């Protein structure tokens, strides 16, 4: 399992986990698409935005390996802002490649990309 060095392990001052410490000997937890309802807690929305910001800062538009990224946190973004970068996609593999769907991520998390958009128009 690839460990993404320098990636934040969690949202500061919270229990929202972004990475895992070690591989599960029984196999990786599958990444699934979780529905984000409008009535989610503000803390959950902040965790999603912070995780997306960390993904964008570390990987940008390039495909990235799942590695030690937390399956639960990825599942909140999977199928929308984070999509498979390969076919066939194995949602139970630590080696699976993912990528950010930049247009959907910008629409969902404008606060993450607000500085980035200003640089493009300059």
pLDDT, tens digit, for every residue of 8-23? 898 888 889 999 888 8
Per-residue pLDDT band for 85 (boundaries 50, 70, 90) equals very high
Phi, psi of 102, rounded to the nearest 5 degrees: -60, -40
The residues, ordered by sequence, that sit 6+ positions from 81 with a Cβ below 8 Å of its Cβ are: 52, 100, 101, 104, 105, 108, 109
Beta strand pairing status for 97-100 and 82-84? antiparallel
Nearest to 1 by CA among 30, 31, 21, 26: 21
Name the pTM for this structure.
0.86
Nearest to 5 by CA among 23, 19, 16: 19
pLDDT at 118 over 50: no
pLDDT, tens digit, for every residue of 22-73? 888 888 899 999 998 888 899 999 999 999 999 999 999 999 999 999 999 9
CB of 84 closer than 8 Å to CB of 98: yes
What residue segments make up the domains of the chain, in order of their start? 1-122
């Amino acid at each position: 399992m690839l460990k993404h060095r320098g990636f934040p392990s969690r949202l500061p001052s919270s229990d929202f986990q972004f990475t895992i410490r070690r591989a599960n000997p029984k196999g990786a937890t599958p990444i699934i698409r979780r529905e984000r309802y409008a009535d989610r807690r503000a803390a959950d929305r902040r965790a999603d935005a912070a995780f997306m910001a960390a993904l964008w800062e570390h990987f940008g538009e390039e495909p990235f390996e799942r590695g030690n990224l937390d399956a639960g946190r990825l599942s909140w973004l999977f199928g929308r802002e984070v999509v498979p970068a390969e076919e066939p996609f194995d949602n139970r593999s630590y080696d699976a490649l993912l990528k950010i769907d930049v247009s959907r991520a910008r629409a969902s998390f404008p606060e993450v990309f607000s500085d980035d958009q200003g640089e493009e128009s300059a």
